[in-house]
């Protein structure tokens, strides 16, 4: 079938239009709208574009430079298509959280990032019903869901990482994506579909299409996006494939609902479970000294309470280990809650962010220090810098796996994994903190408990932590790193 994208004149014309369109937008925003906010690097047109290119692979350094220099105000970072304003300092951060959705909208920021109207569709774009389902049905039923979570984790590990007396090399990230995909879909879809390899692959393909399509659509002027979406994504085909898997499940649930009504209690998002677990696994595999304390705690709790949700809540060291991994390296849900629905086991969305809680201004705004934010500006908080700030954490550049379990002796709820604050932002904070974080924490801790009880692990290069990969503000655990597994020998 003929596609206009195959036509060279059409393609060159589109490229020229994109260059002119965004050149104008960049020039306009850099010289006028944001001129009062200091820039990291340079605010001139050509030099800022150079720094935007540099930011693609070195955003952490640029963010930290801005945070150190403009500690109690705001600064801006150049991206390829626009500027991002970063809010710094406790006072402005507090004002940021207090602003309503009519001032700073997280949904508008997400919709632009994922192009949800064109990639996912108007139902999700205009209606966030799924967030309410996660907040109410999913979180409320975690205790009832736990046996299924536990069963699927055990089954998935045994099938994908079979226990062996000899060391077995595993490429960690893609394997963990499959485990998390199966476990999450055990709750959302149930047996046997959650174990269907075609359905799991479809999850990954669909989200890959969304990410790729959104990236291309963001390059185009808005007027062209409704047409271009038909050529840059394969989403209709993916959805048609999904219907084949889901239609029988949905029909059966309707039948049961009609038959039993309110008496039928079918069991009911995951965000970055596989990112968080991969980062924690790398840390554990590189530092064997962490294994014994984790094992001792898990064994004692399971012996006392069995495999229950209540037992997971008593695993303070496991909880602290994950929380410190998220603080130290930045892996977590971070930005928003709508995005979590779309991250049901992905290959392109397998990333977290060094900034948190991205918003888009719906009107012209002004902070108390005089910082003016024009309508349409993207605004974020440098969570990476806050997590490494000595004002909030003792020895912030040192990884301390028991940092929060020691603190929790005094303030248990304040320092557990799912707790958010102005100084701890992997799950966001405030009204739009990730609603699926309770489910994610239970899944992660159950996976870790299963791992330490059944496996020995080490890195392919013993003691070496794989370097994470960054792209703009995204950060992911090294996707090619290999971890060695064997059946646990010490009991």
Q: Helix, strand, or coil here: 420? A: coil
CA distance 146 to 62: 42
- Of 149, 263, 250, 174, the closest CA to residue 476 belongs to 174
Closest listed residue to residue 118, CA positions, set 21, 11, 204, 224:
224
**Residue 86: burial class (beta carbons within 10 Å; 0-12, 13-18, 19+):** buried
Q: Determine how many CB atoms are found less than 10 A away from the CB of residue 370.
A: 9
Q: What 3-state class would DSSP assign to 17?
A: helix
Cβ within 8 Å of residue 218, ≥6 positions away: 81, 112, 113, 115
For residue 471, list its beta bridge partners. 474
Using alpha carbons, select from 124, 107, 149 the residue that is nearest to residue 428.
Answer: 107
Cα–Cα distance, 355 to 216 (Å, whole number): 22
User: What is the four-CA torsion angle of 478, 328, 434, 276, rounded to 10 degrees?
Assistant: 40
Residue 59, φ and ψ in degrees, nearest 5: -65, -30
Q: Give all strands (DSSP E) within 288-424, no chain letters.
A: 352-353, 356-361, 365-366, 372-373, 378-381
The closest of 346, 347, 343 to 333, measured between CA atoms, is 343
User: What is the rounded distance in angstroms from the CA atom of residue 24 to the CA atom of residue 285?
Assistant: 50
Tokens representing 231?
């050529």
CB 444 within 8 A of CB 273: yes
Q: Is 434 annotated as a binding residue?
A: yes
Q: Tokens in use for 217?
A: 């659509």
Q: What is the DSSP string of 219-276?
A: TS-GGGHHHHHHHH--HHHHHHHHHHHHHHHHHHHHHHHHHHGGG--------SHHHH
Q: How far is CA 94 from CA 61, 153, 361, 459, 461, in A?
A: 24, 39, 16, 41, 43
- CB–CB of 370/377 below 8 Å? no
Sequence-ordered alpha helix ranges (H) in 330-402: 338-341, 383-387
Show binding-site residues for heme: 434
Show binding-site residues: 434
């Amino acid at each position: 079938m003929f596609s206009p994208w195959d036509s060279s004149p059409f393609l060159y014309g589109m490229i020229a239009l994109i260059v002119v369109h965004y050149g104008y937008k960049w020039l306009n925003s850099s010289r006028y709208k944001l001129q009062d906010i200091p820039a990291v690097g340079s605010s001139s047109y050509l030099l800022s574009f150079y720094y935007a290119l540099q930011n693609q692979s070195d955003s952490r350094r640029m963010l930290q430079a801005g945070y150190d220099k403009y500690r109690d105000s705001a600064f801006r970072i150049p991206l390829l298509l626009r500027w991002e304003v970063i809010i710094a300092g406790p006072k402005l951060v507090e004002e940021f959280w207090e602003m309503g959705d009519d001032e700073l909208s997280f949904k508008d920021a997400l919709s632009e990032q994922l192009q949800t109207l064109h990639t996912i569709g108007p139902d999700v774009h205009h209606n966030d019903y799924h967030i309410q389902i996660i907040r109410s049905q999913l979180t409320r039923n975690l205790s009832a869901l736990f046996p299924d979570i536990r069963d699927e984790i055990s089954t998935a590990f045994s099938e994908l990482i079979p226990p062996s007396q000899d060391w077995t090399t595993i490429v960690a990230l893609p394997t963990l994506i499959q485990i998390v995909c199966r476990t999450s879909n055990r709750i959302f879809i149930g047996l046997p579909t959650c174990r269907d390899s075609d359905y799991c692959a479809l999850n990954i393909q669909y989200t890959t299409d969304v990410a790729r399509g959104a990236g291309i659509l963001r390059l185009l002027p808005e007027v062209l996006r409704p047409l271009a979406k038909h050529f840059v994504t394969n989403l209709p085909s993916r959805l048609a494939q999904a219907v084949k898997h889901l239609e029988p499940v949905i029909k059966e649930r309707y039948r049961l609902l009609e038959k039993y009504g309110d008496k039928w209690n079918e069991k009911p998002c995951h965000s970055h479970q596989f990112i968080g677990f991969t980062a924690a696994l790398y840390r554990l595999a590189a530092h064997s000294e962490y294994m014994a304390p984790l094992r001792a705690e898990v064994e004692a709790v399971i012996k006392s309470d069995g495999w229950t949700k209540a037992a997971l809540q008593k695993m303070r060291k496991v909880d602290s280990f994950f929380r410190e991994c998220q603080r130290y390296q930045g892996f977590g849900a971070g930005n928003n809650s709508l995005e979590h629905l779309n991250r049901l086991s992905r290959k392109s969305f397998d990333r977290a962010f060094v900034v948190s809680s991205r918003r888009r201004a719906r009107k012209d705004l002004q902070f108390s220090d005089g910082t003016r934010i024009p309508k349409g500006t993207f605004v974020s908080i440098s969570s990476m810098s806050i997590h490494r700030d000595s004002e909030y954490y003792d020895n912030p550049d040192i990884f301390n796996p028991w940092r929060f379990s020691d603190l929790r002796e005094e303030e248990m709820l304040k320092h557990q994994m799912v707790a958010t604050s102005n100084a701890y932002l992997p799950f966001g904070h405030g009204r739009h903190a990730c609603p699926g974080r309770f489910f994610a924490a239970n899944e992660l801790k159950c996976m870790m408990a299963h791992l330490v009880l059944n496996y020995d692990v080490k890195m392919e290069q013993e003691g070496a932590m794989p370097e994470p990969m960054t792209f703009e503000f995204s950060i992911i655990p090294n996707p090619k790193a290999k971890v060695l597994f064997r059946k646990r020998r010490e009991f």
